[in-house]
Amino acid sequence: GWWGIRVNAGAPREAPEAEKILALQAQMPFQLLIPAYLPASYDRKNMEISITETGPSGEPMVQMTYYSPDGPPLFIREWIPVNPDMEILAGSRPVETKWGKGWMLKQDLDLLVLWVSIGPMRASIYTPDQTLIDKEHLLAIGESLGPASNRQVFSFVVNPPSIKEAQPPPPVEIETNAEGVQEVVLVITPGGYSPLRFAVKKGVPVRLIFRQLGQVGCGNELNFPTTPGEYASLRLDTPSESEVLEFTPEAVGVFEFYGGHVMFKGEMYVNEDGSGGYPAGHPAGRMRLARRGGRCRCVPKPERHQPGRVGGHRSHC
């Protein structure tokens, strides 16, 4: 590992990339941040910066790319979310950071991503391969972000913080309306599902309205559990469409739903009372059902398979 190397560690210096940042600062609507800590393998002087990128909802975004001769690059993206609660790092887990709750996604030994919110700004620090960075040192990079205008000094050495998972927010509890139906609007956004997790009551009919917001790629497909081991498949051909799925949950548990290519995932909690806690007597608290498919299909809308107690129809809004 490169994080143990000391190169004049006792003499902090100005970050070599600071001038590049300051030269573009006036063109961005927020203050750009750079890391004080970065492993020695990364070339700070030849860092590349782009301000032509856009964030998940089309907002201005900066991307900084740090290259290394020993492995894959490290990317840092910064933007101000239009709606922070609607931009979700799909498949991530909440972690504690010095900035408050962050989100970390780790895929085996490949992709590693950290999202942190610093005031209104959001930063994404990621690498497509964990050859040079582990999750503790990625967190250290995220916690060392600061403005280049402060003459941000840099270091090759850090005592990496430990990863502490933050408690995720409780699932949204879906109320029963005057018709005796639990109605939930599930919106897929470029950052994931909203709500990401919700709770319903066993034995009470559910009406799920599926919509999309923005360009979501394969997120326009939804595979949703209706009974253990069975899924209904929904698909939106245009952003103006919605799909309605009606079913009655008959099994207690935590059921996972997901989009095309399993790029987006969420959870439905089914309890006797509709509360957001893990179902009583459920040993692991989560039931991951067998998934169908996995490819991202860009083909005409197929016939939808709706097994079990499911009824669905298309509507436009």
Higher local confidence (pLDDT), 294 or 149: 149
Per-residue pLDDT of 273-289, as tens digits, reads 866 665 554 433 344 33
The architecture CATH gives domain 172-316: Sandwich (2.60)
The domain at 13-154 falls in which architecture? 2-Layer Sandwich (3.30)
Average pLDDT, the chain: 78
The pLDDT of residue 216 is above 90: no
Q: Give pLDDT, residue 26.
A: 86
Spatial distance between the Cα atoms of 17 and 21, rounded to a whole number of angstroms: 7
- Where in the sequence of the chain do the CATH 3.30.200.100 domains occur? 13-154
Percent of the chain with pLDDT over 90: 40
Q: pLDDT band for 78, please (50, 70, 90 cuts).
A: very high
Confidence (pLDDT) at 167: 62
Whole-prediction pTM value? 0.53
Highest mean predicted confidence (pLDDT) among 7-16, 93-102, 293-302: 93-102
Q: How far apart are CA 209 and CA 41, in angstroms?
A: 49
Once rounded to an integer, what is the mean pLDDT over residues 206-225? 88
Q: According to the model, what pLDDT value does residue 90 have?
A: 74
pLDDT value for 317? 32
Name the band, by pLDDT with cuts 50, 70 and 90, for residue 226: confident
pLDDT band at 57 (very low <50, low <70, confident <90, very high): confident
pLDDT tens, position by position, 176-203: 999 999 999 999 877 678 888 899 999 9
Q: Is 48 left (phi over 0), alpha (psi -120 to 50) or beta?
A: beta
Query: Residues spanned by CATH 2.60.40.420 within the chain?
Result: 172-316
Please state which of the ranges 36-50, 229-243, 301-315 shows the lowest mean pLDDT. 301-315
